[in-house]
């Protein structure tokens, strides 16, 4: 039995107009596996829904780190009320699939936005800030470029952490 790479074409295919990861066979497979792992009698209640979403989160995260976040129990209760179309207090597999698609689309879109911003800052803004600081600081040319980039990166990290902490206080 030799080693072979898994077929990643479905996961790594470039997005086409109107095509989402949640419409792919890979996502349907993840959702079905997460649902079947925790479903009792073909349905999940609010507690099992938290476990199922954590399972889905970790399955997706293994392939795309950082894309999703684990849902809170309160958030799951709110969603349960929204997606429980027959109002029986539990989700069947179809209701769970609709829930998972919306959850992913919201969380995934946010991740892509953050990834684009972080990439732009890491690859463009920080090196440019470091180069400008090095040029305009007396004796800056004597300090290695790497130290300037590290200092600019640290400055960005401190600023972004402070902004995130302030935003969390506002949201609370």
Number of domains in the chain: 1
Cα angle 9-119-167, degrees, rounded to a multiple of 5: 115
C-alpha 30/C-alpha 33 separation (Å) is: 5
HSE-CB at 105 with a 13 A cutoff on CA atoms is 12
CATH of the domain at 96: 1.10.238.10
- In sequence order, the β-bridge partners of residue 104 are none
Cα–Cα distance for residue pair 147/138, rounded to 1 Å: 15
12 located within any domain: no
Residue 77 has pLDDT above 80, yes or no: no
| Predicted local distance difference test score (pLDDT) of residue 16 | 46
pLDDT band for 111, please (50, 70, 90 cuts): low
Contact 43, 92 (CB under 8 A): yes
| Position 3 in a domain | no
Is 9 part of any domain?
no
Using one digit for the tens of pLDDT, what is the confidence trace for 29-69?
Answer: 888 888 888 888 888 887 888 888 778 777 776 665 555 66
With a cut of 80, say whether residue 143 has pLDDT above it: yes
């Amino acid at each position: 039995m030799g080693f072979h790479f898994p077929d990643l074409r479905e996961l790594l295919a470039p997005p086409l107009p109107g095509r989402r990861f949640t419409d792919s066979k890979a996502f349907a497979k993840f959702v079905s596996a997460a649902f079947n792992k925790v479903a009792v009698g073909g349905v999940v209640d609010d507690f099992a829904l938290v476990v199922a979403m954590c399972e889905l989160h970790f399955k997706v995260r293994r392939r795309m780190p950082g894309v999703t976040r684990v849902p809170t129990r309160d958030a799951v209760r709110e969603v349960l009320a929204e997606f429980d179309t027959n109002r029986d207090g539990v989700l069947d597999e179809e209701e769970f699939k609709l829930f998972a698609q919306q959850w992913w689309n919201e969380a995934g879109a946010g991740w892509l936005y953050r990834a684009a911003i972080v990439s732009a800052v890491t690859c463009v803004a920080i090196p440019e800030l470091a180069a400008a600081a090095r040029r305009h600081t007396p004796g800056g040319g004597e300090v290695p470029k790497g130290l300037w980039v590290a200092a600019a990166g640290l400055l960005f990290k401190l600023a972004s952490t402070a902004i995130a902490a302030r935003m969390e206080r506002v949201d609370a």
